[in-house]
Chains A and B, each alone.
Chain A
Amino acid sequence: SQKIEQNSEALNIQEGKTATLTCNYTNYSPAYLQWYRQDPGRGPVFLLLIRENEKEKRKERLKVTFDTTLKQSLFHITASQPADSATYLCALLFSGGYNKLIFGAGTRLAVHP
């Protein structure tokens, strides 16, 4: 069956360290992969998009990698801050699929002072 897997357990890290979140998928060949942040009681907020022909994308303290052979994306937050604490969702998108996103369940990140 088609599946997207994200670390189900919360990730706890110390402020200033790099947080690395994983998104693995099976039986998909997405054209794009997006990462969203979601805070309690709020809707997802778009962070980054990476295309199937891109290996890496950066935005300020964020970095995303995309390995279509391993069917995996890694999401890094460098110099993490308590304000980065949230749930992070990966979402797959297919060519011609507009924004019919297929979401993973998300990983909760807690950054401690």
Chain B
Amino acid sequence: EAGVTQFPSHSVIEKGQTVTLRCDPISGHDNLYWYRRVMGKEIKFLLHFVKESKQDESGMPNNRFLAERTGGTYSTLKVQPAELEDSGVYFCASSPAYRGGTEAFFGQGTRLTVV
């Protein structure tokens, strides 16, 4: 069974440009999460989808970040325009229908560098 996959694995863009990150969750997982780790800090929650609906987007830093989940399958996270402080590693995770505290399956992450 394929795990959570993220594309690209690395991205280097200039300040002001747009970048789109993609996440393919484990097939059949209703829940999809985005997290990120900025330099030297802990991994922090960004948002959560249940199928195609945003359940919680309380962690999104500002309106330069836009997340979508088409048809409840893969998800994209767009940053437009990118700023230097957006640099970090963006992780996607998925989990099955909620059963209370169930484990999250993480992708390998996308390392974003804004220069």
Give the interface of A toward B (CB within 8 A). 4, 31-32, 34, 36, 41-46, 49, 51, 89, 93, 95, 98-106
A-B contact count (CB 8 A): 68
Known A-B contacts A42-B108, A43-B4, A99-B95; the reply to A104 vs B42 at CB < 8 A is yes
B65 contacts partner chain A, Cβ-Cβ < 8 Å: no
Of B42, B48, B95, chain A has the most CB atoms within 10 Å of the CB of B42
B91 contacts partner chain A, Cβ-Cβ < 8 Å: yes
Cα–Cα distance between A51 and B99 once the two chains are bound (Å):
13
Cα–Cα distance between A101 and B44 once the two chains are bound (Å):
8
Known A-B contacts A93-B101, A99-B104, A103-B43; the reply to A43 vs B91 at CB < 8 A is yes
| Residues of A contacting B98 in the complex (Cβ-Cβ under 8 angstroms) | 98
Cα–Cα distance between A105 and B105 once the two chains are bound (Å):
19
B5 CB to nearest A CB, Å: 10
Nearest to A89 among chain B residues (CB) is B43
B31 contacts partner chain A, Cβ-Cβ < 8 Å: yes
| Residues of A contacting B101 in the complex (Cβ-Cβ under 8 angstroms) | 31-32, 34, 49, 51, 93
B88 contacts partner chain A, Cβ-Cβ < 8 Å: no
| Residues of A contacting B109 in the complex (Cβ-Cβ under 8 angstroms) | 41-43
B85 contacts partner chain A, Cβ-Cβ < 8 Å: no
B1-57, CB < 8 A from A: 4, 31, 33, 35, 41-45, 48, 50, 55-56
| Residues of B contacting A45 in the complex (Cβ-Cβ under 8 angstroms) | 106
B37 CB to nearest A CB, Å: 9
